[in-house]
Amino acid sequence: KKREHVLSIATVVMVAIVVVMFASCGSTKKNSSVSITDKKEMKKQLGAVAEVEVEFPCSGLDSDDEYLRVNGNGTSKDKTMAKDRAYQNALSSLATKLAGVASMDNVRVAVSVNADGEEFHDKMVSVSKVVAKANVAGYRTSCEKYTVNPETGAYTCYVAIDFGKEKVVKEMYDGLKNKNLIKADYDFDRYLEMFEKDLKQYEESRQ
């Protein structure tokens, strides 16, 4: 009887060990099945705030076959001032975009200036600023939206404005040509074709 009693105790201990092992395995399996890249699970398990994708109003609107499009935004407690700042920033974006596209590979081969890097880009910026300034009134508004901060009462205006693409690119071409920066064998049609290719690439790289 004593031997049977010892065996009975040993059996109970073995069963208990097996139960603990299965419970441990089950817990490990459950935890390992949760991906650390799952932001919802991260928030539940780690107490961390999940990242949220932000999409700004009037953004994501690229240029098309007819129009060259730029965006801008401005913030102020005065709604009119917020609007003015948004349009000023959009007009500045036109100069930035023109200079950026003019510095890319396809368009760049049409330019005769022997300069690299920042020096070349600075020459493109100089011409593009003149073109942007000449078009301060030559645009249409394709999007204008407002948000307001409930805590500060500040307005933010978001805009997207369009410029006639061919007109603006022609002014860019003429500006470069007047400074003797365009190679003789590149006419406007050839320059426009290359500009459109680089414009698409430029906008895609900034999405």
Could you tell me the sign of the dihedral formed by the alpha carbons of 22, 23, 25, 30, in that order? Answer: positive
Residues contacting 130, CB < 8 A, separation 6+: 175
pLDDT at 110: 82
Q: Please give the class, per CATH, of domain 67-204.
A: alpha beta
Could you tell me the sign of the dihedral formed by the alpha carbons of 108, 111, 116, 122, in that order? Answer: negative
Over residues 35-53, the pLDDT tens digits come to 444 445 555 555 556 676 6
Least confident of 7-16, 126-135, 185-194: 7-16
- Give the helix ranges, DSSP H, for 49-108: 79-102, 105-108
Residue of higher predicted confidence among 97 and 16: 97
pLDDT at 49: 61
pLDDT at 30: 41
pLDDT at 88: 94
pLDDT at 81: 97
Could you say which DSSP state residue 139 is in? -
- pLDDT band at 148; cut points 50, 70, 90: very high
The pLDDT of 86-100, averaged and rounded, is 92
Residue of higher predicted confidence among 73 and 64: 73
H or E element at residue 2: helix 2-32
Over residues 162-181, the pLDDT tens digits come to 999 999 999 999 998 888 88
pLDDT at 115: 57
Residue 1, pLDDT above cutoff 80: no
Q: What are the residue ranges spanned by the domains of the chain?
A: 2-46, 67-204
Could you tell me the two tokens for 114? Answer: 């022997």
Pick the closest to residue 146 from 156, 135, 132, 137 (CA basis): 156
pTM: 0.67
pLDDT at 13: 46
Do residues 144 and 84 touch, judged by C-beta distance below 8 A? no
Could you tell me the sign of the dihedral formed by the alpha carbons of 58, 62, 67, 68, in that order? Answer: positive
Q: Which range scores top for mean pLDDT: 75-89, 106-120, 128-142?
A: 75-89
